[in-house]
Amino acid sequence: MNVGFIGLGAMGAAMVRNLLAKGVTVTVWNRSRAIVDTLAAEGATVAATVDETFAADIVLSMLANDEAIREVLLDSGALARAPKGRIHVNLATISTALAAELSALHAELGLGYVAAPVFGRPPMAQAGALNVLAAGAPDTVAKAQPVLDLLAAKVWPLGEDPVRATALKLAGNFMIVSAIEAMGEAVALGEAYGVEAPDLLDMLSSTIFNAPIYKIYGGMIAERRYTPPGFAAELGLKDVRLVLDAAEAKGLSMPLADLAEASLESLLGGDDKDLDLAALAEIARARVEGR
C-alpha cells in the first residue's frame, strides 16, 4: 500500500508513524522541514513538492485549518494537477463551508474525496486507535477504507455528504470544550468547600462521568498539567469559531460556544500560548472565583 501524507503536526506525524509501523509505504510533505527529516529517518519517503504526494494511490491530509488547506492544496494548484481518479482523504477539522466546497471541487476535477475527521489525541493516533468519521461517495470510501482501518479503533460511516462528517466533528469538539469548561467550574465549587480537584475529578470521572474525555482532561486539570499540548488551545479556539460559523449558517444560537470563544481568547491573550485545551479550565475556575 502506497500512501501520500500532507501535514505533519503532532497528529499527522503520529498517524504516519502508525502507518510506517504497519508496513505502509508513506510519502510525506510538510511546510516546515524538521519533522520531515525525522520521519525520513524512521522510514518515510520524502516528497520535494506537494504534487509528489499525489503519485500515491491515496493521499491523506492533516493540515491545521481552512487557510492551510487553501494555501497548500488549492492556491498552489496541487489539487488541480493531481491525476484523475486519485483519492484525497481529509482528516482535519475544517469549516462546513469548506467541506462543501472541497466536495464540489474534487468532483469537478475528477478526484475522489473523503471527509474523515478524527477524534483522539497523538498517542491514540500512533496506536491506530482513533475514531474516524467517514463520508463520501460509497465507492470512494470503500477504496479508502483499508487505510482508514489502519488509523482507527472504529470507522463511523456517515453517508455520501462530506459536510455531515464535518458537522459531527465540530459538534464533538464543541462538547469537549464544554466538558472542560464544566470541569473547571465544578473544581472551583468543590475547592470552595474543601474538596480538592484530584479527589473531585477522580471520583466523578470514575462514576457518573466515566468516559475518556473526563478521564484524560480531568487528570490534566487535576494536576494543572497543560504542556506540552496534545490538543493545542489555539486549535480549540479555531474549532469553536468554526462551530459558531456553522451555527450562524443555519440560523442557530449557541450560548455555550460564545462563552467558550471568549474564554479561549482570554486564555490565549497572555504570553504563554503553547497550552493544551485543558488549560481552558483555569479560565473557568478564575471566573467562578471572581478573579
Active-site residues: which are they? 169
> Residue 270 is which amino acid?
G
Q: How far apart are CA 90 and CA 99, in angstroms?
A: 9
Distance CA 275, CA 227 (A): 6
The x, y and z cell numbers of residue 141, run together, are 470510501
- Distance of alpha carbon 49 from alpha carbon 52, whole angstroms: 5
**Grid coordinates given for 156:** 463511523
The H-or-E segment that residue 28 falls in is strand 25-29
What burial letters (b/e) apply to 17-28, b meaning 16+ CB within 10 Å?
bbbbeeebebbb
Q: How many residues are recorded in the chain?
A: 291
Using CA atoms, how far apart are residues 181 and 193, in angstroms rounded to an integer?
19
